[in-house]
Structure 1
């Protein structure tokens, strides 16, 4: 198996830089915020972080492709870095400290390295394929993490982002039933839901609408913690619609509960 230790170290260095830039602009009086065509917010901090990450990669990994949220794709080939400069921009611009930089390396479409850095939570999560998942403040001071052993939805803790997206996806009733049946539910949202699954503090997390940059880093961390990460139809990896992450034992049940009704499936075909 190939080693990605050097790539993981580079991702940590990039996360250090991102933390510095984003933290310095957090709650800045002159923070500039725009609305993108998809009606989501982007701040000057988002752009500055992604520009800094791309500059580092242009020097350290000039042959690698790069896909980011705020700038056009560059390069081509089997190795591609996937960047979300600030996951949780809506929180960031409102002064809520729950946001993070997501950095991932994919090789031939599979995520091999992931780092999620949330400086105002004082936490960073990371993983390289085959080497386990960790939480801590630096690469040298990490604690191994692992998913929970909960085996039924009725005993499980569910984290989610919102209800409206599931209704729009034609899966609202299944999601509402899930909220009713799960033992405990909280809307942590964004990256945090999935990192809590990886830590074993939450048993399952799901969102109906996510892009590759939202998911790539989360995928390998959940997998290396012993869990499973798929799209909302149960296809492994970060490429399909939305995301479902669980401790593995709950995955099939969760995917089944969130399937659209047969009438909706027929309408889509």
Structure 2
């Protein structure tokens, strides 16, 4: 498998630039908040981060495509950088710490580099295809992370983002059937739950609605940690509108419940 070490270095540089902006704007009294057509919030920090990342990529990877949450773009057939300047904007604007910048490089439709940077948690996760998944926190040395080895749903921890979203986009009853089959349920939400699957803290994370920029970096992180990543119908990939990440052992049992009815 070809190395993407240089691309990972670029992604980490993008994360550094993003962290500088987001930490400066977090809890700012003059934070500007607007609503997009889908009613989701966007702050001046979101657009500033994406613009800076696009500027860096134009300098160091001028031939690559870019797909971002705020400025758009296309998912090209070649190399495409897929970026979410602030995943968890609702948390960001309410003063909660559970937000992060997501950066992925996709080649031929497959994420090969992923970086998740959560400065308020003092954590950064990253992965390179064939190079494993890693976590650095609080200035400590990076450590390699792995998914859990929990073999049965009755011993599993499951998480989602918002229970109400299952009513609109999938089936609340199906998700609750999965919850009832598991030991414990949580709602860590957004990027964080998939990172926790990669760390082995959670065993399953499910989302009935998600965009490519929400998931590309997380797919390579989870799979390089030994897990499995698909949509809610079991189709591998990050660009099908839904997501299920797991330790692999529990993927098919979870799908069986989510697809019932």
When normalised by structure 2's length, the TM-score is 0.97
Q: How far apart are 1:137 and its partner, in Å?
A: 4.6
Moved more, 153-162 or 136-145: 136-145
- How many residues in Structure 1 have an aligned counterpart in Structure 2? 261
Shift of 1:146: 0.1
1-side partners of 2:146 and 2:60: how far apart?
A: 31
Runs of 4+ in 1 over 3 A off after TM superposition: 74-77, 137-141
Q: Which residue of 2 aligns with 1:42?
A: 42
Asked if structure 1 preserves the Cα contact closer than 8 Å seen for 2:123 and 2:138, the reply is no
How far 1:196 moved relative to its partner?
A: 0.3
Which residue in the other structure is 1:201 paired with? 201
Corresponding position of 1:264: none
Q: 1:247 to 1:36 in 2, by over 3 A?
A: same
Partner deviation per Cα, 1:109-160 (whole Å, 9 max, x = no partner): 0000000000000100000000000000599931000000001111101111
Structure 1 residues 5 and 137, CA gap change in structure 2 (3 angstroms) = farther
Of 115-124 and 73-82, deviating more is: 73-82
What is the match of residue 15 of structure 2? 15
- Stretches of structure 2 lacking an aligned partner (at least 5 in a row): none
Cα distance in 2 for partners of 1:61, 1:246 equals 33
The runs of 5 or more residues in structure 1 that have no matched partner are: 262-269
Cα deviations across residues 155-192 of structure 1 (Å, max 9, x unaligned)?
10111111122222342211112222210111100000
CA distance in 2, matches of 1:90, 1:170: 22
Cα shift readout 1:74-128 (whole Å, capped 9, x = no counterpart): 7955000000000000000000011000000000100000000000001000000
**Secondary structure at 1:201's aligned position in 2?**
coil
> Structure 1-normalised TM-score?
0.94
The CA RMSD measured in Å over matched residues stands at 1.6
